[in-house]
Structure 1
């Protein structure tokens, strides 16, 4: 056999071995994700009245909160579709409603704004929102910002979605409302790309609203991992622009919960911060948020945050505590996604340790079910 044929043979064996190894790993990795306790089909049927948090121990009427969503359907010249993030609106909407606030919805252009629905992120509250006739009527007939009467509301909440980067910053009605609310002490909240509403707001003293304010928003790292050419698509990266305007940018761990409160200004970093951001708005309004059973997604975020602050052992202990109380209390898919993100960032130790946590949680499910 010639030297060339020998090299080809060994190369084929190596490539074949790698393929077999990768396929085997893939099957094993997927085996760590048990079938969901509640199927997607059942989740899709969720109605608001099926959620105890919304129907039990109703809070008294405390006024109105305005939720603002983007009207932009396409990211600049990229032809990439966009809109507001349904999960960020739905979860905040129900937090406010459960705590006694009627929620009205506005957008720069009014009418039916474009929406982004990511099936992988959808949970019971999100499907309940889609099945909520009152909520859907409000969102499909959103108020145009020019028709909003600021005095009607106790607070405003800017919902994220990449479209906000294109129509929030230049909207003079948004700028006027935010300026008036901040200077009068009314509460202003925003999550993910929602803080784009603040970048061009100037106060009566001529200073930018966000100068020397502690602010969180979707970070450069989070943006560029999902959209590598984001600098070419967006008019700016939100973290860069906020810092350019003088904000003290408060960056948390990638794709985990991070909320900043600066007097009457409350901001959250990403979609996983929506629950906490909305509840912080309620607190800034002077109320103790109604007790809520945290979601499986939030439990997994807590485990991941424990990993970021204390490493594998702390995360494993946190995971164990959840499994002791309820083996179905965590979202194993979210742990899997974060292990993949770590691998994409070439942080192989983190990826391996998160897979070990996933395996540990799977073992807990199996052992408790025997």
Structure 2
């Protein structure tokens, strides 16, 4: 009997040891798929971004960007703020297309900011190294003091803090109501659409009623914060639907943008580029040609995988990386495999790792 128990224990320990070894090996393999961080990105300067500095149109007016002043998620103690990438990328699209950008917040002054090093690109670091942009970001206009007639459009930046200080701010509601009714452009991304949920028009109708909108989704929120329903005053997708919106939901953590007349909304940070350029179009201008980023190419590959499968995604990857003329973010592709793990979707996890591995094979620049 003792011998049998010993054999079972020995077998169990052997299996556990094998699993641990496999996990360690898998971890090293995944780490090997992620390209090293390029230190030169951190020293990116606006003057080196030809998209921003060359062929800038004559001044076309001003756009107001609004960020949160909230630094903590309710009573949870978890820190928050506005998402730097969601401000920086839109800021440079607007300025590159001839618009001056002012930044406002509910409290004014220096708002809290969230910086995720893994998501940072050259435009984001350039924003941090841009003295004019930093002065505006660190000395925001109090939203109550905004002169609304100074601006052609308003853009609400995401960040989980927006869930707490955007929805019930009277000045924000007044700006949105005025701009919508005067057919000025309103943009909002990720948690930024929280600014829209309590806006009522002069006719008594909710702003979002019968409007096609996108925002951070319930699935995206709950996957990252399982107790989001107790931390936030509401789930943003639910609140927009409650107000009568036609919610336009895309794939998790991938680009999705909704354009309903002068109301333009995006699902998450990966929607910023297309949203900002759509705002330029709605303002009546053709956006300047912009170099596509490695992150955008990675999103295109991942969207192709979601819609058409791994073979089509590989074919697109080959097209993008042919001749090494265009970049593609292996880091973003690899990170998306983690979503499969969190969802318990082994097939998605392994397939996206296969895509990341294939990208590494195609990329001979290291």
Coarse TM-score class (shorter-chain normalised): over 0.9
1:26 paired residue number: 27
2:172 paired residue number: 174
Confirm or deny: 8 A CA contact 1:327 1:364 kept in the other structure.
Answer: no
1:319 paired residue number: 317
Q: Secondary structure at the match of 1:2?
A: helix
Match of 1:246 among 238, 244, 247: 244
Which range moves more in the overlay, 14-23 or 200-209?
Answer: 14-23
1:99 paired residue number: 97
Report matched runs for 1:219-258 at 5 Å: 219-258=217-256
Aligned counterparts of 2:313 and 2:106: Cα–Cα separation in 1: 43
Following superposition, the deviation at residue 327 of structure 1 comes to 6.9
1:288-340: CA deviation from partner (whole Å, max 9, x where unpaired): 11100010000000000111111111111111101114276100011111111
Alignment RMSD, CA only?
1.2
1:360 paired residue number: 358
Match of 2:69 among 68, 71, 77: 71
1:9-59: CA deviation from partner (whole Å, max 9, x where unpaired): 1111111111111111222222223435xx1x3111111101111111111
Q: Does 1:337 align with 2:335?
A: yes
1:45 paired residue number: 43
Confirm or deny: 8 A CA contact 2:324 2:363 kept in the other structure.
Answer: no
Report matched runs for 1:273-288 at 5 Å: 273-288=271-286
Q: Secondary structure at the match of 2:309?
A: helix
1:139-181: CA deviation from partner (whole Å, max 9, x where unpaired): 1111111100100000000000000000000000000110010
2:13 paired residue number: 12
Q: Secondary structure at the match of 2:253?
A: coil
Following superposition, the deviation at residue 365 of structure 1 comes to 2.0
Confirm or deny: 8 A CA contact 1:99 1:282 kept in the other structure.
Answer: yes
TM-score normalised per structure 2: 0.98
Aligned counterparts of 2:35 and 2:70: Cα–Cα separation in 1: 38
Aligned counterparts of 2:181 and 2:323: Cα–Cα separation in 1: 46
2:120 paired residue number: 122
2:209 paired residue number: 211
Unaligned ranges ≥5, structure 2: none
TM-score normalised per structure 1: 0.97
- Across the two proteins, how many residue pairs are aligned to each other? 365
Confirm or deny: 8 A CA contact 2:35 2:331 kept in the other structure.
Answer: no
Distance 1:201 1:28, change over 3 A: same
2:191 paired residue number: 193
Confirm or deny: 8 A CA contact 2:156 2:189 kept in the other structure.
Answer: yes
